[in-house]
Structure 1
């Protein structure tokens, strides 16, 4: 039986920008999905429908052929065209207004996440109006990208993109480009005292990807994990995403309090720590604590993730030796990134894993999508191998030392009534402890209204904050801007005064 068609339903407008065949296709498809044209019904011949609509036959044929290709019509076009009989009834009201049957009710919460997903999604970076690529006082975590040798980098990258036969235009399926892994192993050994071979280096798309990979590989749901209190939110998210039970271990002037951690949880599966420059407080894990931590990890059969995110920038003496270099029980995974030393958009980080984990991590990273583009890796290998990386770090260390001094001086002149900067010999940011119990979230909001980014410390705590303070970056801010911005911040914080 031929399906009756309303010409009003299929009306086409020759003056519209949309082609006539597409208008007809859209009208027929909508009528099928909304149930106005029933499954199995026969459509008019293309010649007849063209005559009824006053369009060319090819217009109707094009619409019919597209609908047939997508499975809405069946039969031979021009010799009996029918609406497909195999369309499930419960799919025939997509986007339509027809009433749903009792078995077609919408789910109560179509956007429902897993419990872990909800927990991770609830984590928010501290600060108001935060934009990663935007340099403004006193944004933390952003290097002086305007000082990066972009022309040199462009030449190195261009070298690698000229010939698609060089093997760098295909998929990267291993643990990273071999020359880059060799360069990373050599740098980490010379600058940080890391003991490793290139085979132990796993190149990732940034530090967060390294954290995600390690968390997935080492943690089962409900495993206990030590995390610093206060601590890095990115680590919190990765560990929670893997199902960990986080145990917040307090940080004091010597870094992570190992004895307090043992009392809190004597059998952790994993320990996450930032020993060279604790995030966010900036303290260094003392040698007795380092040795105690390694001894405990050996006895507890626990893994340790050492996040060494910005240790190249130390302004008093040489960079400190890594925790991994002291490890004789091979319990430490060392994690580094080029986001702070070069620029965040590079998206290259790395894990240095114990020999026992190499094969497993190599196999896993192929399936995670955490491997950077081969061309980027090759250019970075040259950047390091030709000495440009070391020269850039040395130059930036001098620039950052001057900017750090400018912030300390500006704080002593303009902000002494509101906060006191805590001493720190390294890194790209300082912590200002607020006086008289002033609320750091309120202070951050007042600063944001003055277009100044200072992150409150409160969100870095899992429990009740023991310190009210502001995280203040200086690396990406010119010295003159630091002085001006300190004055504006003082005016903003004056609104908190009793």
Structure 2
């Protein structure tokens, strides 16, 4: 049998990789074509020969060849076999002769981003990712997806997705699937003291989409927007994207300092707050501060965006009622998400807007494309309406309470020389304040070298940062892993002389 003339040493196929073998081969061949290792018009070996040389099934090679032919990279001639196309569809992607071997696209410096685009790109948010369904210690903002009732969810979703005549296969459901909006209004009213009707609920494709929609609709370029200092980077990015002038208002043990904010800028157009469980410090906005904030917003004609991102998880005392429930001037937009309570890729969030904004937000969401799949919305409505959501939250509250206690104990036992856990009655993460005057970025880098993820508290400051600390998640981390990783982190800090 003839041997393949291809550079097989560059076509390493890994049966253990997530990508199927045919896709790996397709990527390798396409890359070789585009960077010139396989010239236009060159003849490829038969599928049988290449399969034998690579040690794979012939169907693997056939699938890769068929995909490349469909995209115009290959062409077949009767009696002449399969050849590289003479005119390649991605010729404009080919690199210059001095840059062969790379396919990395580079931004043309002659086509700069907009000013707002540059500001958005400057907000660097760490990627929270699962490795085969498991989180690294101590990634924050991640629920325990292995605890989610996936079989039940798949059954609910399949029931909604199998009938093309159920009204869920159209382009959109506008402001949201009506039964889901009813379920959200009922849950927010009962659990969070929100005062609303289903008509006020706007369903979005996640919390970030809700933030983006609110910022676009309420901010003009140059308008002042209060943000918490330290505060959530996602809100910073959304407000910068709308052209806002950010005003970082300090947070203390009672939450955002309204008096300090008034001194910094007395006429904000928008105020973004996380009153139930401040991100990232974990403090709760006190009642006097809540009332002061509402009075100020009413007098200044400012909108308040209340982000209630993980309020379901409170481990001592009764849940704190929403800021929106105290609002009598209709200045508060209440924002929630199911990504923290269920699983991140669900991508369903919502805004509860004052009556005066309903029509505008209904129109806007159709134009922004921030609407999640109707079938997913319907399945979620069933999940909530049938009582599964409440059951899941109660079960996870117990799981997370145990993991939180485990982390606090591990910090005291193993990391007490370096860290002091922040007082917090809820949430899915906490801050470990560094006891010594150590750069928290260097501490995070040392942890990362040991495959432990902690976020420097300084990341969340827009202006001058305060005490150094590490943002540490516990919700997605089993107790044994928490204990093991805390011991390892103590060892890392000791070796780094922190």
Q: TM-score, normalised by structure 1?
A: 0.80
Alpha-carbon distance, 1:131 to partner: 2.8
- In the other structure, the counterpart of 2:332 is 332
Alpha-carbon distance, 1:496 to partner: 3.7
Equivalent pair of 1:177/1:374 in contact (CA under 8 Å): yes
Alpha-carbon distance, 1:15 to partner: 6.6
CA distance in 1, matches of 2:252, 2:125: 23
CA distance in 2, matches of 1:326, 1:438: 41
Unaligned runs of 5+ residues in structure 1 are: 1-9, 28-54, 71-91, 98-106
Larger Rg: 1
Superimposed CA distance per residue, residues 28-67 of structure 1 (whole angstroms, 9 cap, x where no aligned partner):
xxxxxxxxxxxxxxxxxxxxxxxxxxx98xx9xxx99x99
- In the other structure, the counterpart of 2:395 is 395
- In the other structure, the counterpart of 2:129 is 131
Superposed, 1:51-130 pairs within 5 Å as 109-126=109-126, 130=128
Equivalent pair of 2:128/2:142 in contact (CA under 8 Å): no
The secondary structure found in structure 1 opposite 2:165 is helix
Q: Given the superposition, is the C-alpha separation of residues 113 and 96 from structure 1 closer, same or farther in structure 2, using an over 3 Å criterion?
A: closer
Q: CA RMSD in A?
A: 3.0
CA distance in 1, matches of 2:130, 2:269: 33
CA distance in 1, matches of 2:444, 2:307: 27
- In the other structure, the counterpart of 1:215 is 215
Aligned length: 423
Equivalent pair of 1:438/1:496 in contact (CA under 8 Å): no
CA distance in 2, matches of 1:348, 1:425: 26
Equivalent pair of 2:315/2:425 in contact (CA under 8 Å): yes
Q: Given the superposition, is the C-alpha separation of residues 166 and 443 from structure 1 closer, same or farther in structure 2, using an over 3 Å criterion?
A: same
Alpha-carbon distance, 1:162 to partner: 1.7
Superimposed CA distance per residue, residues 192-247 of structure 1 (whole angstroms, 9 cap, x where no aligned partner):
00000000000000000000000000000000000000000000000000000000
- In the other structure, the counterpart of 1:240 is 240
- In the other structure, the counterpart of 2:347 is 347
Equivalent pair of 2:116/2:241 in contact (CA under 8 Å): yes
- In the other structure, the counterpart of 1:4 is none
CA distance in 1, matches of 2:93, 2:188: 57
Alpha-carbon distance, 1:119 to partner: 1.2
The secondary structure found in structure 2 opposite 1:248 is strand
CA distance in 2, matches of 1:337, 1:146: 19
Q: Given the superposition, is the C-alpha separation of residues 130 and 361 from structure 1 closer, same or farther in structure 2, using an over 3 Å criterion?
A: closer
Alpha-carbon distance, 1:318 to partner: 2.1
Alpha-carbon distance, 1:130 to partner: 4.9
Superimposed CA distance per residue, residues 121-159 of structure 1 (whole angstroms, 9 cap, x where no aligned partner):
111125xx7536650111100011100011110110111
Q: Does 1:373 align with 2:373?
A: yes
Alpha-carbon distance, 1:476 to partner: 0.5
Superposed, 1:128-277 pairs within 5 Å as 130-131=128-129, 134-277=134-277
CA distance in 2, matches of 1:365, 1:93: 36
CA distance in 1, matches of 2:248, 2:394: 35
Equivalent pair of 1:428/1:474 in contact (CA under 8 Å): yes
CA distance in 2, matches of 1:339, 1:450: 28
- In the other structure, the counterpart of 1:476 is 476
- In the other structure, the counterpart of 2:406 is 406
- In the other structure, the counterpart of 1:311 is 311
CA distance in 1, matches of 2:230, 2:164: 48
CA distance in 2, matches of 1:264, 1:448: 37
Alpha-carbon distance, 1:109 to partner: 1.8
- In the other structure, the counterpart of 2:460 is 460
Q: Given the superposition, is the C-alpha separation of residues 435 and 177 from structure 1 closer, same or farther in structure 2, using an over 3 Å criterion?
A: same
Q: Given the superposition, is the C-alpha separation of residues 14 and 222 from structure 1 closer, same or farther in structure 2, using an over 3 Å criterion?
A: closer
- In the other structure, the counterpart of 1:300 is 300
CA distance in 1, matches of 2:92, 2:437: 59
The secondary structure found in structure 1 opposite 2:433 is strand
The secondary structure found in structure 1 opposite 2:345 is helix
The secondary structure found in structure 2 opposite 1:166 is coil
Equivalent pair of 2:222/2:245 in contact (CA under 8 Å): yes
Q: Does 1:288 align with 2:267?
A: no
After superposing on structure 2, the runs of 4+ consecutive aligned residues of structure 1 that deviate more than 2 Å are: 10-19, 92-97, 129-134, 495-498
After superposing the two structures, state which structure 1 stretch, 134-143 or 259-268, moved more: 134-143
CA distance in 1, matches of 2:475, 2:461: 24
Unaligned runs of 5+ residues in structure 2 are: 1-38, 47-64, 97-106
Q: Given the superposition, is the C-alpha separation of residues 26 and 412 from structure 1 closer, same or farther in structure 2, using an over 3 Å criterion?
A: closer
Superposed, 1:40-59 pairs within 5 Å as none
